[in-house]
Amino acid sequence: KTLSRKEVAQLIENMEGKILITSHKNPDGDAIGSSLGWFNFLRKLKSNVKVILKDKIPYFYDFLPNINKISTSHSINEQFDWVIILDVSETERTGFDSIPAKNSLVIDHHITANPDSTFAIVEPKMPSTCELSLEIMKLIGENLIDYEVALPLYMGMVTDTGSFGYNSTTPDTLRNAAFLLERGINPYTVIKNLFERNRVTRIKLLKKVLDTLNFAANGKIAHITVLQKFLKETGAGLEETEGFISYPRSIEGVEVAIFFKEFEDGKWKVSLRSKGNIDVAAVASKFGGGGHVMAAGFEYSGEGIENLKKELFEHLSKLLNQ
Ligand code: 5GP
Ligand code: MN
Ligand code: MN
C-alpha cells in the first residue's frame, strides 16, 4: 500500500514492538545515513530498535554518531514486528534471504514498479532517501531532530547529490540542508571525513584500477575494472573503490562511465554513470538492475565478463548514436 508523507509519519509514530531498520547491500552514504538517521531518531521514541545491514560499513563513515550500533550480518535470525527498509524497494536487494517481520515499510527514492512491502512511500523526485526521511521526521516532531539525527541525514544528502552538484538538487534540498546545519553541523566535518581520509591502500588500488582505463564508442564510453587480485596486492577492500567511477566520468567527451567490479565469488557488479544524455537506469534495468538517470547499476553472474562488456558497449553505442 502506497502512503503519503503524513500517513507514513502517523504509521511510524504508532509502530509498536520490535523495529528493525535495514537498507540495500553494499551500502552507500544514503543507505547508511538514512539507516542511522532513523535509528538515532527512533531511539528517542521507541524502546526496541535495531539496525542490521548485510555488508560491511566502509571506515570513512566511522565519524557518525552511533555508527557502531549498526550490526552487519548475513542473515536475520530474530523475529521483528516491523521492518523499515530504506533506499531500496526490492527486499531481495537488502541481501537477506528473508526478513522475519510481521509488517514492512519501504522509504525510497528509486523508480520502482512495485515495492514488495506492506507499506511504501517512494518519491523518485527526491534526491536522497535521507531528504525524504527528513521531510517525514519533520511531520513527527522537529524537536526530535537533533545533531545526532541531523549529521547522518546531511551526510547522505551530500553523497547522493554529489555534494549538492547534481540536477536532482532542488531549492528544497538546500533549505533542508540549511535546516540540518542549524542543528549544529559543520559542513567540512562531513567532507573531511568522507573524502579527505584516503588510506594509502586505497590510493594504491586506485593506481591499479586507473591502469585498466579503456574507451569504447569513439571515446564516449570510458570504463575501468577492479579485479580481486588487485585487492590482494594492495590490501584494500572492495568497498574502498567507492568514488573511483568519478575519474572515467570526469574525462572530456565521455558520456557514460562504467566500473566493472569482480566479487570474491566470481560474480560481477557493474556501476554506470551518465552526464545526462543517456538514461543509465534504463540501461541497467535491461541488464536486470536499476537506479537513477545519471547513476545506476546491475549484477552479472553470467559467463565471461568480456561477453557482457561487448553486449553492453554495443547497446550503449546504439543509444549514443541516436
Ligand atoms: P552504485 O553504482 O553506486 O552501486 O549504484 C548507483 C545507483 O544504482 C544507486 O542508486 C543504486 O541503488 C542503483 N543500483 C546499483 N546496483 C543496482 C542493482 O543491482 N539493482 C538495482 N535495482 N539498482 C542498483
Ligand atoms: Mn543507495
Ligand atoms: Mn539513495
Average pLDDT rounded to a whole number, residues 243-268:
96
User: What count of other Cβ atoms lies within 10 Å of the Cβ of residue 233?
Assistant: 12
Looking at the CA of residue 288, tell me the nearest atom of ligand 1.
20
Looking at the CA of residue 299, tell me the nearest atom of ligand 1.
19
Residue whose CA lies nearest to ligand 1 atom number 14:
297
116 or 68: which leads in pLDDT: 68
Instruction: Examine the domain organization and report whether 96 and 35 are in the same domain.
Output: yes
pLDDT score of 283:
98
Pocket flag, ligand 1, residue 291 (CB < 6 Å):
yes
Residue where a domain stops, chosen among 180, 195, 210 = 195
Q: How far is the CA of 194 from the centre of ligand 2 (A)?
A: 16
pLDDT score of 111:
85
Instruction: Examine the domain organization and report whether 206 and 119 are in the same domain.
Output: no
The confidence band for 305, taking pLDDT boundaries of 50, 70 and 90, is very high
Instruction: Confirm if 58 and 239 have CB atoms less than 8 A apart.
Output: yes
pLDDT score of 36:
98
pLDDT score of 302:
82
| Count of structural domains, the chain | 2
Instruction: Examine the domain organization and report whether 15 and 71 are in the same domain.
Output: yes
Digit-coded pLDDT (tens) for 204-247: 999 999 999 999 999 999 999 999 999 999 999 998 999 999 99
Find the ligand nearest to 93 CA.
1
Residue 165 has phi, psi (to 5 degrees) of -105, -25
Alpha-carbon distance of 88 to 62, in angstroms, equals 23
Digit-coded pLDDT (tens) for 106-133: 999 998 767 888 999 999 999 999 999 9
Instruction: Examine the domain organization and report whether 21 and 78 are in the same domain.
Output: yes
Q: How far is the CA of 35 from the centre of ligand 2 (A)?
A: 11
Instruction: Examine the domain organization and report whether 40 and 81 are in the same domain.
Output: yes
Instruction: Confirm if 261 and 269 have CB atoms less than 8 A apart.
Output: yes
Looking at the CA of residue 93, tell me the nearest atom of ligand 1.
20
Pocket flag, ligand 1, residue 299 (CB < 6 Å):
yes
Instruction: Examine the domain organization and report whether 45 and 187 are in the same domain.
Output: yes
Domain that holds residue 275: 200-320
Instruction: Kindly tell me if the per-residue pLDDT of 277 is higher than 80.
Output: yes
How high is the ipTM of this complex?
0.98
Instruction: Confirm if 49 and 43 have CB atoms less than 8 A apart.
Output: yes
Residue 205 CA to its chain's centroid (Å): 22
Let me know if 146 is exposed, middle or buried by CB neighbors in 10 A (0-12, 13-18, 19+).
middle
Residue 271 has phi, psi (to 5 degrees) of -105, 140
Looking at the CA of residue 87, tell me the nearest atom of ligand 1.
12
Mean pLDDT of the chain: 96
The tally of CA atoms less than 13 A away on the side-chain side of residue 36 is 30
pLDDT score of 114:
79
Alpha-carbon distance of 11 to 121, in angstroms, equals 11
pLDDT score of 179:
98
Alpha-carbon distance of 213 to 5, in angstroms, equals 44
Digit-coded pLDDT (tens) for 15-41: 999 999 999 999 999 999 999 999 999
Find the ligand nearest to 161 CA.
3
Hey, what's the cell of 245? 567511477
Looking at the CA of residue 298, tell me the nearest atom of ligand 1.
19
The CATH number linked to 315 is 3.10.310.30
pLDDT score of 211:
98
Q: How far is the CA of 27 from the centre of ligand 2 (A)?
A: 6
pLDDT score of 219:
97
Instruction: Confirm if 109 and 128 have CB atoms less than 8 A apart.
Output: yes
User: What count of other Cβ atoms lies within 10 Å of the Cβ of residue 7?
Assistant: 15
Q: How far is the CA of 143 from the centre of ligand 1 (A)?
A: 34
Beta bridge partners of 20: 50, 83
Alpha-carbon distance of 213 to 224, in angstroms, equals 5
Looking at the CA of residue 272, tell me the nearest atom of ligand 1.
2
What single letter denotes the amino acid at residue 182?
E
Q: How far is the CA of 101 from the centre of ligand 3 (A)?
A: 23
Instruction: Examine the domain organization and report whether 33 and 97 are in the same domain.
Output: yes
pLDDT score of 322:
82
Pocket flag, ligand 1, residue 296 (CB < 6 Å):
yes
Hey, what's the cell of 17? 514492538
Residues with CB under 5 A from ligand 2 (ion): 28, 30-31, 87
What single letter denotes the amino acid at residue 202?
R
Average pLDDT rounded to a whole number, residues 302-321:
94
Residue whose CA lies nearest to ligand 1 atom number 10:
291
Instruction: Examine the domain organization and report whether 96 and 178 are in the same domain.
Output: yes
Alpha-carbon distance of 95 to 27, in angstroms, equals 11
Q: How far is the CA of 159 from the centre of ligand 3 (A)?
A: 9
Residue where a domain stops, chosen among 164, 195, 226 = 195
Residue 303 has phi, psi (to 5 degrees) of -80, 135
Instruction: Confirm if 190 and 154 have CB atoms less than 8 A apart.
Output: yes
Residue whose CA lies nearest to ligand 1 atom number 22:
290
Please state, for a pLDDT cut of 90, what percent of the chain lies above it.
95
Instruction: Examine the domain organization and report whether 181 and 213 are in the same domain.
Output: no
The confidence band for 295, taking pLDDT boundaries of 50, 70 and 90, is very high
The CATH number linked to 169 is 3.90.1640.10
